[in-house]
Chains A and B, each alone.
Chain A
Amino acid sequence: SSGTTDTTSGDASPATTAAGGTTDPEPTETTAATTDEPVVVRAAVTGGEDTLNPYTYVSGFPGWNMLMLQYDSLMQFDVNGDPQPWLAESVETNDDLTVWTLTLAEGVMFSDGEQLTVDDVEFTFNYFTEKAAGRFARDLRGVESVTTDGDRTITITLDAPNPAFDLVALADIPIIPEHIWSEVTDPEEHQFDSVTNIGSGPYVLVDYVEDQSYRFEANPDYFRGAPAVDELVVVVFADDSGPLAAIRSNEIDVIFERISPEQIDLLDALDPIDISQGPEFTTQMINFDVTKAPFDDIAVRQAISKAVDRQDIVDTVFLGAATVGSPGWVHPEKAVYNPAVAAERDVAGANALLDEAGYTDSDGDGIREFSGGPMSFEMLTNSSDSLRLRIAELVAEMLAEIGIEVTVSSVETATWEEAVWPGFDIANGRNYQMAVWGWSAPVQANTIRVAELVDGNPDIGFLNLTGFSDPAVDAIAEALLTEADPAVSAQQIGELQVLIAEGVPFVLLAYPDGAYAYNSAVYDGWEFIAGQGIVSKLSLLDASARP
């Protein structure tokens, strides 16, 4: 996909924001009328994100999102979550998706007044490749070369076709200024501050108090036009209930974290507070250790998948604010979703499956037996996520109906991670029987990453936490990774969904919606990016500047 966007609207021309129906006069008009009345938005996050440099932010969400307020990437997600040209005016690829040619937008300045050039782009790619740092280095794996041609053209050559290169790399990597970073030899050790927090993004981080607050000021010379919000203060809370109290007491204006489902209606009912809600690509699922009995038996896994009532979980735990999980992994909102795999609850079928496979309750205590004794398992959840705990309880209730006893064990997060994913390396095996698990949005957002979840080869399936292995699945998954033709790729993903639904490497239960609360009297230009939520520069730019 390629496209160009007019970049001349750099000086903010007043434009109406989306019809929000607020009681306030139209915000940008106010800004124009009384220029000394800046729009200040106070946002809440839970847990600090450190100094918000490419090497020092903490979490994928909202850390990366906040980071990207200061930086720009070559491409930018639009409301649908699809990458669109941004710093790069245009993005073109060859047929087998190995050569990507980009044209840099003109007149982009860093916040210290230096011009952003193709050299900065080249520097950025090389720097991230050389100075290992998880996320961006991984993005750039497979990049063979980065070359510049003249002032505006950059050519990136990959060693293999990568259909998602725009999504995972171009829209993800912040372009950093060479004149600052070339002097930083050891970014892990380097401490950053507002002097070195230099990017081309719409905001400049001017103030940071660890674990307390961030203050961003708008960059009036932003190449897409001055942002609609002049100042953004991000307050760090220790737990989830703090922001909820603070938005009610009018101490903050927006919560940069998903609010829990029961809060949606409650907060929406309050006057200036509104909710922005939409599908997100996070997942809630049941993992089991597929390498051990009885989960090595496909019948057991299928029975479990049939026995869980996904709708009940969506209704009870998420109060409807979630999408029922697809047994084939892919979110129904995705274009490549295969409706054929839709889940049906079938307790009788599940029981029959188990009976057939020889798992019977021989001693009449209501619990079936298998070679290793009663089918009685421990299901791990992490105590910090109460919704997951409830899911576990409900699943336990549901599995009781098919003679499988589940004891829910809630443990502290690191303990839970260590059991399910020891050392974050699947080579270390697994120390659990069953667990409620979930992946963050990027895993789902890029559909072809499903290979990482199910491939039996640990190099490819490095997120295959359940130890699943199926040659048929492997074959399609590996083909998918390098398939250049979107149509073929869609076809493969469709097949893969069927195989996954049958093979049950995990039981996908739901995709929770993202819901964000904000005070519409202060600012209501929030834009919900499918799969990512509202925390993005898009929300803070004028509507006309958005892709």
Chain B
Amino acid sequence: MKRLDLSKLGQYVIVIIVAVTLNFALPRLMPGNPLALIAGVDVGLLTAEERAQIIEDVGLNEPILNQYADYWVSIATGDLGQSYRSGRPIKDIIAERLPWTLLLAGGALIISSFFGIILGAISAWRRGGKADVPLLTGMIALQSLPSFWLGMLLISVFAVNLGLLPSFGAISPAANYEGWEYFKDVLEHAILPIVTLSVLSTPGVYLTMRYSMLEVLGEDFIRTARAKGASERRVLFGHVTRNAIAPVVTFLAIRFAFSFGGAVIIETVFSYPGLGRLVFEAVSGRDFPVMQASFLVFTAAVLIANLIADLLYPILDPRTRAA
């Protein structure tokens, strides 16, 4: 592998700086304040001094630039501070939430890439054929489904009416399963949200794959491969798919990062204890440190995904390797 390009790195740095600044500014630009959250209950009963004390305790009275500088320091030291609401270190909170979101996003990534790539390949290979038309139409239709609606309907059908799967949460509450039981429990809870996320992201993979395949199919070297006497199978797997996969992988990387953001709706619908729900709650309560930290995680996810895509691309497509 070639070392990472410096100017590319510089661009990442710029994006990070701007994104972090926005992450800092957005919560503070929002109307409302975190007082109620920090004070706990019945904020109306506080005296003015008590209010001031609370604000001072969390450092919100400091000049905005100092707060901004502190935020950078906290990022640099990896200490993301404490939640206003629970007072717990945000590192711990994120460490608890992230695996669940990763499970959903990862599960959906695997499922949607599996179906998306295979179906996309079939569709492109038999373009305009019996499989392509319904697949294409169906995928575009799936892409048009409102995600929350789909999630709610799935709950309604599979959890409420059929009673097959749990409707909420990541594990059965307070069940304390172990080993295989635990695994099964987690799986059962993850099925509906993963299916919802997958239904939403498969069409994108499919369309990218189909498009990419069609483009490769039009290339001269496919004709060369046939002229060599390669069978259709071999052409498909040895030449077409291999060449078509690079854009799909890039798409998947980005898609994976964005499913973090998409998790907000899905995790709310399924009461799933991931990062998306954390953000939603932090935003409603103006839990500044949690908001900042989780935006940071989102930003990092997108940047890392981009980076991975950038690093993978030359492996998948030798033309882009530095000469």
Q: Do chains A and B touch in the complex (CB under 8 A)?
A: yes
List residues 49-77 of chain B with CB under 8 A from any CB of chain A: 50-51, 53, 57
Q: Is the CB of A233 within 8 A of B174?
A: yes
Q: Say whether B167 contacts A423, CB under 8 Å.
A: no
Q: Does A263 contact B (CB under 8 A)?
A: no
| B87 engages A138 (CB within 8 Å) | no
The answer, among A58, A188, A238, for a CB contact under 8 Å with B268, is A238
Contact B169 A63 (CB under 8 A): no
Say whether B32 faces chain A, with CB atoms less than 8 Å apart: yes
Stretch at the interface among A239-247, A305-313, A507-515: A239-247
Does B236 sit within 8 A of A, measured CB to CB?
no
Q: How large is the interface on B (under 10, 10 to 19, 20 to 34, 35 or more residues)?
A: 35 or more
Asked if A196 is at the interface of the complex by the 8 Å CB criterion, the answer is: no
Given A64-B41, A423-B51, A424-B46: A207 in contact with B174 (beta carbons within 8 A): yes
Q: Does A82 contact B (CB under 8 A)?
A: no
Given contacts A210-B96, A414-B286, A421-B44, contact A248 B160 (CB under 8 A): yes
Q: Is A6 an interface residue (CB 8 A)?
A: no
Say whether B36 contacts A251, CB under 8 Å: no
Distance, CA A210 to CA B50, complexed state (A): 28
A413, CB-defined interface residue at 8 Å? yes
Q: A138-B42, A425-B48, A427-B48 are in contact. Are A250 and B30 (CB under 8 A)?
A: no
Chain B residues whose CB sits within 8 angstroms of the CB of A384 once the complex forms: 284
Closest to B39 in A: A134
Q: CB < 8 Å: which of A55, A57, A189, A251 contacts B166?
A: A251
Q: State whether the Cβ of B173 lies closer than 8 Å to any Cβ in chain A.
A: yes
Chain A hits for B281, CB < 8 A: 47-48, 211, 238
CB <8 Å contact, B159 and A249: yes
B31 interface contact, C-beta 8 A: yes
Interchain CA distance A101-B127 in the complex, whole Å: 89
Bound: A356/B107 CA distance, A: 69
Q: B268 and A239: CB pair below 8 A? A: yes
Contacts of A444 in B (CB 8 A): none
Within 8 Å of chain B (Cβ to Cβ): is A182? Answer: no
Are A242 and B32 within 8 A (Cβ)?
no
Distance of A242 Cα from B170 Cα, bound (Å): 13
User: Is B267 located at the chain interface by the 8 A CB criterion?
Assistant: yes
- Specify which of A214, A236, A238 is in contact with B267 (CB 8 Å cutoff): A238
How close is A276's CB to chain B, nearest CB, in angstroms?
Answer: 22
Q: Is A73 an interface residue (CB 8 A)?
A: no
Give the residue name and chain of the A residue nearest to B272 (CB): A238
Most buried by A among B46, B166, B267: B46
Per the bound structure, the CA–CA distance linking A276 and B280 in Å amounts to: 31
B32 pairs with A246, CB closer than 8 A: no
Chain A hits for B268, CB < 8 A: 238-239
| Cβ-defined contact, B277 with A51, below 8 A | no
Q: Give chain B nearest CB distance to A431 CB in angstroms.
A: 9
A135 contacts B41, CB within 8 Å? yes
* Contact string against A for B residues 18-37, beta-carbon threshold 8 Å, 1 for contact and 0 otherwise: 00000000000011110110
A132, B173: Cβ atoms under 8 Å? no
**Partner of A418 from B32, B43, B280 at Cβ < 8 Å:** B32
B43 → chain A, closest Cβ, in Å? 4
> Interface 1/0s, chain B 157-191, versus A by CB < 8 A?
00110010011111101101000000000000000
B interface footprint on A384-426 (CB within 8 Å = 1, 0 otherwise): 1000000000000000000000000000111101110101110
A residues less than 8 Å from B224 (CB atoms): none
In the complex, the answer to whether B85 meets A50 with C-beta atoms within 8 Å is yes
A160 within 8 A of B: no
Given contacts A242-B167, A418-B33, contact A211 B42 (CB under 8 A): no
Q: Report if B273 contacts A (CB, 8 A).
A: yes
- CB interface residues, A 229-275, toward B, < 8 Å: 233-239, 241-242, 245-246, 248-251
* A60 pairs with B42, CB closer than 8 A: yes
Closest Cβ–Cβ distance, residue B96 to chain A (whole Å) = 7
Measured between alpha carbons, how far is A477 from B45 in the docked complex, in Å? 18
Contact A132 B50 (CB under 8 A): yes
* B33: A residues at CB distance < 8 A: 414, 418, 423
**Chain A residue, CB-CB nearest to B51:** A425
B156 within 8 A of A: yes
**Known A211-B277, A425-B51: A138·B46 in contact at CB below 8 Å:** yes
> Is the C-beta of A215 less than 8 angstroms from some C-beta in chain B?
yes
A56 proximal to B (CB < 8 A): yes
What CA separation (Å) do A51 and B85 show in the bound complex?
A: 11
Bitwise interface map of B from 268 to 301 toward A, beta carbon under 8 Å scored 1, else 0: 1111110001101100111000000000000000
> What sequence of 0s and 1s flags, for each residue 206-218 of chain A, a beta carbon within 8 Å of any chain B beta carbon?
0101111111000
Please tell me if the beta carbons of A424 and B41 are within 8 angstroms of each other in the complex: no
C-alpha spacing A162/B255, complex, angstroms: 62
Q: Mark B77-95, 1 if CB is under 8 A from A, else 0.
A: 0000000011110000100
In the bound assembly, the distance between CA atoms of A51 and B173 in angstroms comes to 16
Residues on B with beta carbons closer than 8 Å to the beta carbon of A50: 85-86
How distant is the Cα of A207 from the Cα of B176 in the complex, in angstroms? Answer: 10
Given that A134-B40, A421-B44 are contacting pairs, would A212 and B170 also be in contact in the complex, using a CB cutoff of 8 Å?
yes
Q: Is the beta-carbon distance between A245 and B36 smaller than 8 angstroms?
A: no
A60 to B43, CA, bound (A): 11
The 5 closest A-B CB pairs, nearest first, are: A414-B32, A213-B173, A215-B174, A418-B32, A138-B45
Task: List 9 additional contacts besides A233-B173, A233-B174, A423-B33; criterion CB under 8 Å.
Answer: A50-B85, A134-B43, A134-B50, A207-B176, A213-B174, A215-B174, A245-B159, A246-B167, A418-B32
Identify 30 residue pairs between A and B in the complex whose beta-carbon atoms are under 8 Å apart, listed by A's number.
Answer: A42-B173, A50-B85, A57-B41, A58-B85, A134-B40, A134-B41, A134-B42, A135-B41, A135-B42, A138-B42, A188-B57, A210-B93, A212-B273, A214-B174, A233-B173, A236-B271, A238-B280, A238-B281, A241-B152, A242-B270, A245-B156, A246-B168, A248-B160, A249-B159, A414-B284, A414-B285, A415-B32, A418-B31, A424-B35, A427-B48
Q: Which residues of B line the A interface, CB within 8 A?
A: 30-33, 35-36, 39-46, 48, 50-51, 53, 57, 85-88, 93, 96, 152, 155-156, 159-160, 163, 166-171, 173-174, 176, 267-273, 277-278, 280-281, 284-286
